[in-house]
Structure 1
Amino acid sequence: MKTIRIGVLSTARIGRTKVIPGMQKARNCTVEAICSRDESAARRTAEALNIPKAYGSYEALLADPGIDAVYNPLPNHLHVEWTLKAMARNKHVLCEKPLGLNDGEVNRLINAMAVHPEVKVMEAFMYRFHPQWVETKRLIDRGAIGRPTSIQSFFSYFNADPGNIRNKADMGGGGLMDIGCYQVSLSRLLFDAQPRRVLGWMDRDPEFGTDRTFSGLLDFGGRLSAFTCSTQLAPYQRVNVLGEKGRIEIIIPFNAPPDAPTEILLQQDRETHTITFDPCDQYTLQAEAFARAVLEDTSVPISIMDTFANQHTVDALFKSAEADRWENC
């Protein structure tokens, strides 16, 4: 089987603990190199994860002709800069979410893709590749719960470390950019539409300046998604989708474990059924889908226009929260 050779930009924790191990189980890609501005850190990570090559700069990795694509888990404010640099080297890019700090940044990538049409760029919303989400979408599309009209979701964790990038406002930290973007994404996915208007509310951390709690309403015209995300609450996640004839509840919607079964609940009339999915690694599935698009020269599963629409909605939520009013999308 043909494979693509991937290099990893930085030794970020999500890469070390989740994405790289997932990629290494994929059938159609290999992790060939990793880099860091601290070469010793790159070498330690490469040794620990059995990665053949380590570099002491991002530029050195991008200059390697043996790398076909890069995975970009850099801090949010560096996503666009280094994705553009990778594209200029004709490297395909799988970039962590959110791909840009605002829709203007994403538009820079759209313009670059017109210059480099051969390069694939995909935002890493890994949850979409898990079978529990594939089945949820299938059930909704075939009418298992009737017309879906309401989505309720909650996603939180507790992190008050001032040194963590999620708590640095100038690096794109905060709840909405880190985890609320998932809730915006799933709402657009399940309703298969863009919201007409949004209403946002946030509580800013007085020290960090980031939104430690953000709640939003997405109005899809007769259908509504309500969500809350927080970086300083007890860890919890859940999604409920309600329709005229039933309900679907995703128990572990985002951080699905790679080594344990997952479940969704399907309620139809007064009966509730549990649908169980065998253990799988959503990062492996994401890597295989991305690599398949590269190898077969097809569109990536999450298009740049989908990314733009998601970020545009996030931008509108921030504007709404600042102005304390509904914001049109």
Structure 2
Amino acid sequence: MRLLVCGGSDIFARRVLPGLPGLGVTALDVASRSGRRMEGPPGLLLRFWDDPEAALAASDADAVYVTTENSRHATLALAALASGRHVIVDKPAFLDLASAERACDLAAKKNRVLAEATVWAEHPRVAGLIQAFADRDTAPARIVATFSFPPLPPENFRHRPELGGGALFDLGPYAVSPGRVLFDTEPEEVVCRITSRGPAVETAFTCLLVYPGGRSLAGTFGFDTGYVNRLDVLGPGLAASMDRAFTPPPGAALPLSCNTPRGVRCVDFEPADAFARFFARAFAAMERGDGDAFIATLLADARTLARLRSSAG
């Protein structure tokens, strides 16, 4: 399989590139306006381009991974789909609901996979969390999500609104996806307030999402505090907690803390690579020609993110 990568992001270089040969990728085209060159793992054939649009026209890749600034996702994803390729897009895949709907409609018409790379739930610890509730014959009812970290450098694109910057776009996918994963539905009510602003974009927000049956998610997200990355999930008879919930490191065992009336029990999960598991699932869907689940997931998160932004004003 040949993969075309549009963009030269750090997340691609650090978390995706090293694992591609193990996922069946034998050749790679990397197209970045920055001219970035990187070394690939042994056995992976690399070609470099300075213009993603030119690479889309000339590359014979089977699939495209878009990992540019947020503002360029829609144009590149739509062009890749129009050319008949499968597409994976970094989160947030699209900056408005209309673009997401247009891309999903095109992917469905062409029978192509269109997947948003919000990968945290691929880690086996999340399946272990769901199973912990099932083992007690109960289900999650409340989610408390916190993902906040120190200020980003001033030159980071997340400070630039014309590039799709701001905390709502950067961290919004982590606010809208836990309810989808753990409640398997979209919220009935969405409330969001900006709690911190920089010179050009919002740098923090807090939100409340209310789901059918009285279930809820309360969240705090931003890049203006000390580091915290945590998910607490509460239900009848069980309260479960995960640190490093949204960016699970691939090389470390991670604990799941379960607090029950009988006491606290910690379960350690072996190291796992959420990015590799996500790409493996997407590549398998491409082989089957079945992208319906990925399209449904992308649209559900896009709808909720649009409501989050609308509430924030």
Short-chain TM bin: over 0.9
Q: 2:102 aligns to what?
A: 108
Q: Which runs of 5+ in 2 are unaligned?
A: none
1:168 aligns with 2:163: no
Q: Distance in 2 between matches of 1:251 and 1:308?
A: 27
Q: 1:93 aligns to what?
A: 87
Aligned residue type for 1:135: G
Q: CA deviation at 1:145?
A: 6.8
1:28 aligns with 2:24: yes
TM-score by length of 1: 0.88
Q: CA deviation at 1:135?
A: 1.8
Pairing partner for 1:195 from 187, 191, 205:
187
Q: 1:274 aligns to what?
A: 266
Q: Which runs of 5+ in 1 are unaligned?
A: 323-329
Aligned residues: 311
Pairing partner for 2:128 from 119, 135, 155:
135
Q: CA deviation at 1:218?
A: 0.4
Q: CA deviation at 1:7?
A: 1.6
Q: Distance in 1 between matches of 2:14 and 2:149?
A: 17
Q: 1:16 aligns to what?
A: 13
Pairing partner for 1:72 from 46, 66, 72:
66
Deviates more, 1:125-134 or 1:61-70: 61-70
CA 1:148–1:38: 2 relative to 1, 3 Å: closer
Q: 1:214 aligns to what?
A: 205
- Specify the SS of the correspondent of 1:45: coil
Pairing partner for 1:179 from 171, 174, 177:
171
Q: Distance in 1 between matches of 2:45 and 2:123?
A: 26
Q: CA deviation at 1:308?
A: 1.8
CA 1:278–1:64: 2 relative to 1, 3 Å: farther
Q: CA deviation at 1:51?
A: 4.8
Aligned residue type for 2:274: Q
Q: 2:311 aligns to what?
A: 320
Deviates more, 1:50-59 or 1:83-92: 50-59
Q: CA deviation at 1:306?
A: 2.1
Contact between 2:194 and 2:204, CA under 8 Å: does it hold in 1? yes
Q: Distance in 2 between matches of 1:196 and 1:310?
A: 14
Q: Could you report, residue by residue, the CA deviation over 1:296-322 in whole angstroms, capped at 9, with x for unpaired residues?
A: 223365x22222221221221222222
Q: 1:327 aligns to what?
A: none
Q: Distance in 2 between matches of 1:267 and 1:315?
A: 35
Contact between 2:256 and 2:268, CA under 8 Å: does it hold in 1? yes
1:306 aligns with 2:297: yes
Q: CA deviation at 1:153?
A: 0.9
Q: Distance in 2 between matches of 1:115 and 1:296?
A: 16
Q: 2:2 aligns to what?
A: 5
Pairing partner for 1:253 from 239, 245, 254:
245
Contact between 1:20 and 1:31, CA under 8 Å: does it hold in 2? no
Q: CA deviation at 1:89?
A: 1.6
Q: Distance in 2 between matches of 1:145 and 1:229?
A: 31
Q: Distance in 2 between matches of 1:22 and 1:126?
A: 15
Q: CA deviation at 1:227?
A: 0.3
Q: Give the percent of matched residue pairs that are identical in Structure 1 and Structure 2.
A: 26
Q: CA deviation at 1:285?
A: 1.0
Q: Distance in 2 between matches of 1:279 and 1:153?
A: 22
- Calculate the aligned-residue CA RMSD, in Å: 2.0
- Specify the SS of the correspondent of 1:148: coil
Q: Distance in 2 between matches of 1:200 and 1:145?
A: 32
Q: Distance in 2 between matches of 1:51 and 1:280?
A: 26
Contact between 1:121 and 1:304, CA under 8 Å: does it hold in 2? yes
Contact between 1:22 and 1:281, CA under 8 Å: does it hold in 2? no
Q: Distance in 1 between matches of 2:8 and 2:173?
A: 23
Contact between 2:29 and 2:59, CA under 8 Å: does it hold in 1? no
Aligned residue type for 1:89: S
Aligned residue type for 2:270: D
